[in-house]
Amino acid sequence: MKSRARAPTKVTLFGEHSVVYGFPAIVFSLPIYVEVNAEKHGKTSILTGPANLRTVDLVLSDNSIEVGESTKKYLLRYISYIKKSLELVKVEGVKIEIKSPLPVGAGLGTSAAVAVGTIAALAALKGIELDKEEIAKKAWTVEKEVQGRASPMDTAASALGGILWLERVEDEWRIERLTALEIKLVIGVFEKQKTTAELVQDVAARLERSYIYKEVIKVMGDIAREARKALENGDWTYLGELMNLNHSMLEALGVVNKEIALAVHAARVAGALGAKLSGAGSGGAVVALADDPTPVAAALKVVGAKDVFVVNKPSRGVEVNIF
Ligand code: PMV
């Protein structure tokens, strides 16, 4: 028996970082999927695709090739998403194969999709029926354990699909599905220079250093509230302005590197109604709202995007099959 799960990635339209502190965020589940195949096997083994290793650190001697510390650290973190999912669903002796069109750590929720897909595929293999909410909850546990601190945003977007509103109200996360007219998004993927966990910690350090950063985070919450209205009313001009405002706040938090700053500017010059960083930052992804996606996509390529996607409709969440 084999199982296959397709878990979508996501783009954050509003509220990355501020969502970690309970402020509202809007996330769009992308119809770009991580595929997880699982089958019973004598030994537990993992076959995996892109793990976003910028450089591979190898130590050579006469008789052996050893994996160096930096590569080991990165790979271990990535494999931890799969290992923790295995521990949670409690499966032994399984072969897991992961195929992803995007590298992990691209700022598009690939690690959350790996957790969601692995949990869904393993549960199906074990004959356990988990609904999408339960998959989202388990995958969030995995993210929190690997990352140290994480909002339920990425795992909810991958498991549930759609366009979601997330907000913490009196210690409870409220997750709502938003309805919007067809939206034209252009997404550019750039090299990420730090991990999400490091960036979340950098922001936490700033918040401790000065109250002014807490004000920035609060304003991000206000921007997301305005954005919800603009999105539901189909007011693309205002939504674009709000994306630009959200990007300025992310710059204020110090998570926008030069490459992303340039890409956001290039998208706007090419006619985007708004453009911003998506995800934790220091590279990663740029999301732009455009009436005409073609010149915006071309501009993102010119400034070095490795991949560019044009997206109109969100995914419907994780799908799983047994065969
Ligand atoms: O860059 P990504 O896709 O890992 O997104 C991280 C989003 C944060 O808000 C920075 C962290 C979180 O857990 O919500």
Reduced to 3 states (helix: H, G, I; strand: E, B; else coil), residue 297 is: helix
Residue identifier of the C-alpha nearest atom 13 of ligand 1? 150
Ligand 1 site residues, Cβ closer than 6 angstroms: 16-17, 19-20, 107-109, 150-151, 153-154, 196, 200, 279-280, 284
Answer whether residue 231 shows pLDDT above 80. Answer: yes
Answer whether residue 51 shows pLDDT above 70. Answer: no
Bridge partners of 2, per DSSP, are 39
Answer whether residue 96 shows pLDDT above 90. Answer: yes
Residue 103 confidence (pLDDT): 74
Residue 314 confidence (pLDDT): 97
Ligand 1 pocket check: which of 12, 13, 282 to mutate, most ligand atoms within 8 Å of Cβ? 12
Give the span between the Cα atoms of 306 and 228, in whole angstroms.
30
Residue 15 confidence (pLDDT): 97
Q: Are 91 and 3 in contact (CB under 8 A)?
A: no
Active site residue 291: no
- Measured from the Cβ of residue 226, the count of other Cβ atoms closer than 10 Å reads 17
pLDDT in tens, 129-171: 999 999 999 999 999 998 877 889 999 999 999 999 999 999 8
Counts of helices then strands in the chain (DSSP H, E): 9, 13
Structure tokens given for 27: 């996330």
Residue 267 confidence (pLDDT): 98
Question: How much distance in Å is there from the Cα of 172 to the middle of ligand 1?
Answer: 19
Place of tokens 């960036």: 199
What mean pLDDT, rounded, does the chain reach? 93
Instruction: Return the percent helix, strand and coil in the chain, to nearest 5.
Output: 45, 25, 30
Residue 52 confidence (pLDDT): 63
Radius of gyration of the chain (CA): 19
Residue 104 confidence (pLDDT): 73
- Measured from the Cβ of residue 196, the count of other Cβ atoms closer than 10 Å reads 27
Answer whether residue 190 shows pLDDT above 90. Answer: yes
Residue 71 confidence (pLDDT): 80
SS3 string of 87-127?
HHHCCCCEEEEEECCCCCCCCCCHHHHHHHHHHHHHHHHHC
Residue 77 confidence (pLDDT): 77
Residue 226 confidence (pLDDT): 98
* Given the residues 62, 154, 202, 291, the one annotated as active site: 154
Reduced to 3 states (helix: H, G, I; strand: E, B; else coil), residue 272 is: coil
- Measured from the Cβ of residue 237, the count of other Cβ atoms closer than 10 Å reads 12
Rounded average pLDDT over 307-311: 95
Residue 101 confidence (pLDDT): 86
Answer whether residue 85 shows pLDDT above 80. Answer: yes
With pLDDT > 70 as the criterion, what percentage of the chain qualifies?
Answer: 98
> Per mean pLDDT, which of 119-123, 146-150, 180-184 is the most reliable?
119-123
> Per mean pLDDT, which of 39-48, 64-73, 284-293 is the most reliable?
284-293
Higher pLDDT pick, 140 / 47:
140
Residue 50 confidence (pLDDT): 65
Closest CA to 187 of 106, 254, 251, 262: 106
Q: Are 309 and 287 in contact (CB under 8 A)?
A: no
Answer whether residue 54 shows pLDDT above 70. Answer: no
SS3 string of 127-157?
CCCCCHHHHHHHHHHHHHHHHCCCCCHHHHH
pTM of the model: 0.93
Give the span between the Cα atoms of 155 and 141, in whole angstroms.
9
pLDDT in tens, 280-300: 999 999 999 999 999 999 999
Residue 278 CA, closest ligand 1 atom number: 1
Answer whether residue 233 shows pLDDT above 70. Answer: yes
